Amino acid sequence: MPVYEYNALDKKGKSVSGILDAESAAAARQKLRGSSIYPVSLKQIERSTAAGDRRSLKSIRLFDRVKSADLSMMTRQLATLLEAGFPLVTAIDTLVHQIAAPSFKKIIAQIKTTVVEGSSLANALSAYPNVFSPLYINMVHAGESSGTLEIVLERLADISEKQEALSSRIRSKMIYPIFMAVFGAAILFFLLTVIVPSITSIFIEMQKTLPAPTRFLITTSELFKSYWWIFLFAVAASFFALRRIKKTEKGRILFDRAKLTFPVTGPLVRKLAVARFSRTLASLLENGVPMLTALDIVKNIVGNVLVSRAIEKTAEEVGKGQGLGHALSAHDIFPHLAVQMVQVGEQSGGLEAMLNKVASIYESEAENTILGMTALLEPVMILLMGVVVGFIVLSIMLPILEMNQLVT
């Protein structure tokens, strides 16, 4: 069924807009008038099928990315409507009018049309892999198969809200150090390109032998003043080169290995990967997804190639009859504590609950690690800025002190 985007006037003459589906433009206008809404303009929206309108999906991916907070809110609202007894199509139709983001509104309207045509919700969601992750789609499929869709959607909302809350806390802790770094770099650039040349030009005109720190400062200042664009180009080129290398298989393996082995980021990346692995696997198992299928899904969302390969090998061992804890113990990526807790969960029959506990432990440890890093980073950056500014002041003062000695 075609989907239409409209601009209209309500009873009070206020402008309203939205999306609805109808068999034709005339039927859409009649449907609007039946709701006491009088259309001003009506435009049909092309629907992306399962094969997908690639250009449309690409434009959504590049310019109208759906926020995780919007997705989590939509999931929670859909679960609430289904729990209240709304039929699936009616619940989705209600959501269309609640969503504010235009791109997301169009996607939900198109999903509703696909469901009306007889498709399952999971199949309709799979047409938008850039919006709905494999985890999301597979859990919805499991919920539809077991008749517990509203419960599954509640758990999906819980997962996304917890991940968003953790990401938000991490971002908030990093704002101040990043601001200090950018602000400090801007001040340093201003000193070297504006302030220092105006002062050191006096020393150059005197044509006297200057101290080594002053000569170094003058040379550095001239380089920044004359060739700042080269430095900017080098930084930009390095950034794009690293991104290009990272897109290759070898480059991604190299970067992911560096993230795991680097002294500062290694423990943090490991904890976040274990937390995500545990939380997601627990949710899948709780919703009746078989272990091997769940491991196959989880390996694609951990965000690290090496961790993903370790999970893949773990799945192979589990498929041969080994326990999950024993299979995980063969890989150094998974901490000994996490492996032990998984083994205890398997023996007690409470694997899902134990995986959730593992996730909570490592999420908390990751947050504490970030707090410690940011607490250490702030004084280090202040000290570094003090050393640089102190060197500039010293380099300027040395020639002045020498001139004073000559005068006296």
Higher pLDDT, 28 or 238: 238
**Is residue 159 domain-resident?**
no
Spell out the alpha helix ranges (H) of 99-211: 102-116, 121-125, 134-146, 149-190, 196-205
Digit-coded pLDDT (tens) for 81-101 = 888 888 888 888 888 888 888
DSSP state of 334: S
Domain with 373, as residue range(s), is 181-408
How far apart, in whole angstroms, are the C-alpha atoms of residue 321 and residue 266? 32
Q: What band does 49 get if pLDDT is binned at 50, 70 and 90?
A: very low
Query: Looking at the domain assignment, is residue 160 inside a domain?
Result: no
Both tokens of 339, joined, read 């492996």
Answer yes or no: are the C-beta atoms of 140 and 117 closer than 8 Å. Answer: no
The whole-number pLDDT of residue 20 equals: 66
The confidence score (pLDDT) of residue 400 equals 80
Distance CA 71, CA 157 (A): 8
Whether residue 144 is contained in a domain is answered as no
Contact yes or no for 93/113 (Cβ under 8 A): no
* Whether 284 contacts 118, CB under 8 Å: no
| Full-model pTM | 0.63
> For residue 194, what is the DSSP state?
I
Read off the pLDDT band of 345 (50, 70, 90). Answer: very high
Total domains in the fold of the chain: 2
Any idea how long the chain is?
Answer: 408
Residue 21 included in any domain: yes
Q: Is residue 10 part of a domain?
A: yes
- The Cβ of residue 203 has, within 10 Å, a number of other Cβ atoms equal to 21
For residue 17, the model assigns a pLDDT of: 67
Q: Which residues pair with 8 in a beta bridge?
A: 16, 39
The pLDDT score that the predictor gives to residue 13 is 67
Residues 220 and 369 in one domain: yes
Lowest mean pLDDT among 12-21, 63-72, 288-297: 12-21
Inside any domain, residue 284:
yes
CA 209, 214, 216 angle in degrees (round to 5)?
110
DSSP output for 211-262? PHHHHHHHHHHHHHHHHHHHHHHHHHHHHHHHHHHHHSHHHHHHHHHHHHHS
CATH of the domain at 376: 1.20.81.30
Quick one: what percent of the chain has pLDDT higher than 90?
Answer: 6
- Read off the pLDDT band of 52 (50, 70, 90): very low
Q: What are the angstrom distances between the C-alpha of 405 and each of 177, 401, 402?
A: 43, 6, 5
Q: Which carries the bigger pLDDT value, residue 233 or residue 31?
A: 233
Helix (H/G/I), strand (E/B), else coil: 369: helix
- Residue 141 CA to residue 263 CA, distance in Å, equals 41
Residue among 350, 283, 342 nearest 318 (CA): 342
Weakest-pLDDT range from 6-15, 250-259, 287-296, 377-386? 6-15
For residue 357, name the pLDDT band (cuts at 50, 70, 90). Answer: very high
343 lies in some domain: yes
Of the listed ranges 169-173, 296-300, 313-317, 389-393, the least confidently predicted one is 169-173
Look at residue 210 and tell me if it is in a domain.
Answer: yes
Rounded to the nearest angstrom, the gap between the alpha carbon of residue 301 and the centroid of all alpha carbons in its chain is 12
**Cβ contact 284:297 at 8 Å:** yes
pLDDT in tens, 258-297: 888 888 778 888 888 888 888 888 888 887 778 888 888 7
| Mean pLDDT across the chain | 81
